[in-house]
Structure 1
Amino acid sequence: MDTGLKGKSVFVAAASKGLGRAAALEFAREGANVTIASRSAEHLSEAKRAIGEATGTAVNTVVMDAGKEEDVRRAIGEAAEALGGLDVLVCNAGGPPGGRFDDFSDRDWQAAYELNLLGTIRMIREALPHMRRSGGGRIVTLTSTSIKQPIDGLILSNVFRAGVNALTKTLAAELAPDGILVNTVAPGRIATGRIRELDEANAKKSGRPLQEIQAENERSIPLGRLGQPDEFGRAVVFYGSFANTYATGQAILVDGGAIKAL
């Protein structure tokens, strides 16, 4: 299948590690001109090296904190200038801290809002003029299976990931006349550092061995295992590609069948 990505300009946020990096790697494999963004210049350098070694393609890098308006504006502007426009935007950000309702102050709620929801809004706002000039584009937001079923102990993520999903659904209709397709891809339990951190926190809180927590979580997945980052990255690439010509406003769960909601 031809994804139509060869030579296209792709911006992937929070791509120095984890799911963002997995998506960036798969876009590079398809011949896209990829810009990866992250708050850490050191982690970006390592990601650039690894992606280059795996694909033979040099990716562009830009330092960006998705929670800061000036960073988002500068980063997307630099990427569009360096690569001659912007065709695909992958909105991503690190997850907010875990905890329950009583654990968080107004400051915590505000920080999670600015990073996970307002950051996505800002990235899309900056990308749209470039996509409209080129006659269309693709936007993929990365959320979580919590958009279908809230995850215990992750109230900040549950609330703002749901907001991103609502934004995605609304923009799909608004941007359809511009030839811009907008979807969200929601990971379940994918084998990344974030999942290990959550399992470790759960083990510490419950006083149970980490291996017991991990085995229990794997048993809850019909496929009986965690997903791999490349499996998630390939899903992002399809919905962010020009092989996808008719799916928009959709929430695609990549979770091994864990969520039972219709």
Structure 2
Amino acid sequence: MDLGVKDRVALVFGAGGGLGGAVAEALAGEGARVIAADLDLDAAEATVGRITAAGGSARAMAWNLSDRTVIEARLQDIEATEGPVSILVNNTGGPPPTPVSGQSPADWLRYFEMMALSVIAITDRVLPGMKAAGWGRIVTSTSSGIVAPIPNLGLSNALRMTLLGWSKTLAREVGRDGITANVILPGRVATGRILFLDEQKAKREERSTAEVTAESTGSIPLGRYGRPEEYGRVATFLASDAASYVTGSVIRVDGGLIPSV
């Protein structure tokens, strides 16, 4: 199947990490010209190295999502060298594990800037180009916590829920411009972030990480953690012509983990 993303410019955030890197590689594998953006430039360049070794087109870019002052300069650079962004994959890091109560206003503001406001501002900046082209894809990666809040991930549950309401509203506003907006959420996908969360839970409960991981795996109907490339393929489908009638949706890539309908 031709997904229709060949030569389209795709800006992927968090592309130095497990999920973002997998999305970047999947898009490049379908012929998109990928901008791999990450706070860690070395990690983004490692992703680019894998893409180019496989014959794809990609460029690494350092981008601190906590700093909204860099948005205009970064996007002007992309537009001057690659062209307007057609595919935007919003994928941010998460806050540390915490209860939802008792967090300081400073921490709420810090993570709101990084996880929500930056995503909204960047999307607003690329929308005019998408509207002019009559085609655009906005894929926002969140967490299974937006459907079933995860204990001790209070900041993440609340702030990622903001993006759910924003994306659904946006989908209605831009649909007639040929632009889709969807949310994709991972369950337990085997990345460094999931390993970190398993380790933190093991430490809190005075158990081994292996025991925590086994318990978590036992709650997944497919009986295993997901692979990053499985997530990347779903995100790439949502970014494609093949998904032209999918918008305002929440797509779970969770192996059946979330128990609700």
User: TM-score, normalising length from structure 1?
Assistant: 0.97
Alignment of 1:172-191 (within 5 A): 172-191=171-190
Tell me if the contact between 1:63 and 1:75 (Cα under 8 Å) persists in the aligned partners. Answer: no
Aligned-residue offset at 1:103? 4.9
The answer for the alignment partner of 1:79 in structure 2 is: 78
Distance 2:196 2:33 in 1: 32
Distance 1:42 1:200 in 2: 25
**Is 1:137 the equivalent of 2:136?**
yes
The answer for the alignment partner of 2:192 in structure 1 is: 193
The answer for the alignment partner of 1:41 in structure 2 is: 41
**Is 1:214 the equivalent of 2:213?**
yes
Over residues 41-71 of structure 1, what are the superposed CA-to-partner deviations in whole Å (9 max), with x where a residue is unaligned? 2222222112222x21231122111121122
Alignment of 1:88-167 (within 5 A): 88-167=87-166
Tell me if the contact between 2:84 and 2:126 (Cα under 8 Å) persists in the aligned partners. Answer: no
Tell me if the contact between 2:100 and 2:153 (Cα under 8 Å) persists in the aligned partners. Answer: no
* Amino acid in the other structure paired with 1:64: W
Q: Which moved more, 1:238-247 or 1:100-109?
A: 100-109
The answer for the alignment partner of 2:66 in structure 1 is: 67
User: What's the Cα RMSD here?
Assistant: 1.1
Over the matched positions of the two proteins, sequence identity in percent amounts to 39
Distance 1:191 1:103 in 2: 30
Distance 2:161 2:132 in 1: 30
The answer for the alignment partner of 1:237 in structure 2 is: 236
Q: Which moved more, 1:75-84 or 1:204-213?
A: 75-84
Distance 1:202 1:13 in 2: 27
* Amino acid in the other structure paired with 2:41: A
Aligned-residue offset at 1:76? 2.5
Q: SS state of the match for residue 211, structure 1?
A: helix
* Amino acid in the other structure paired with 2:60: T
Distance 2:75 2:149 in 1: 32
Alignment of 1:2-81 (within 5 A): 2-53=2-53, 55-81=54-80
Distance 2:71 2:96 in 1: 22
Q: SS state of the match for residue 241, structure 2?
A: coil
Over residues 182-217 of structure 1, what are the superposed CA-to-partner deviations in whole Å (9 max), with x where a residue is unaligned? 001000000000000000000011000111000000
Aligned residues: 261
Tell me if the contact between 2:12 and 2:35 (Cα under 8 Å) persists in the aligned partners. Answer: yes
Aligned-residue offset at 1:101? 2.8
Q: Which moved more, 1:21-30 or 1:7-16?
A: 7-16
Q: Which moved more, 1:88-97 or 1:37-46?
A: 37-46
- Extract unaligned runs of 5+ from structure 1: none
* Amino acid in the other structure paired with 1:117: A
Tell me if the contact between 1:13 and 1:36 (Cα under 8 Å) persists in the aligned partners. Answer: yes
Aligned-residue offset at 1:73? 2.5
Tell me if the contact between 2:32 and 2:57 (Cα under 8 Å) persists in the aligned partners. Answer: no
* Amino acid in the other structure paired with 2:13: A
Q: SS state of the match for residue 57, structure 2?
A: coil
- Extract unaligned runs of 5+ from structure 2: none
User: TM-score, normalising length from structure 2?
Assistant: 0.97
Distance 1:183 1:195, change over 3 A: same
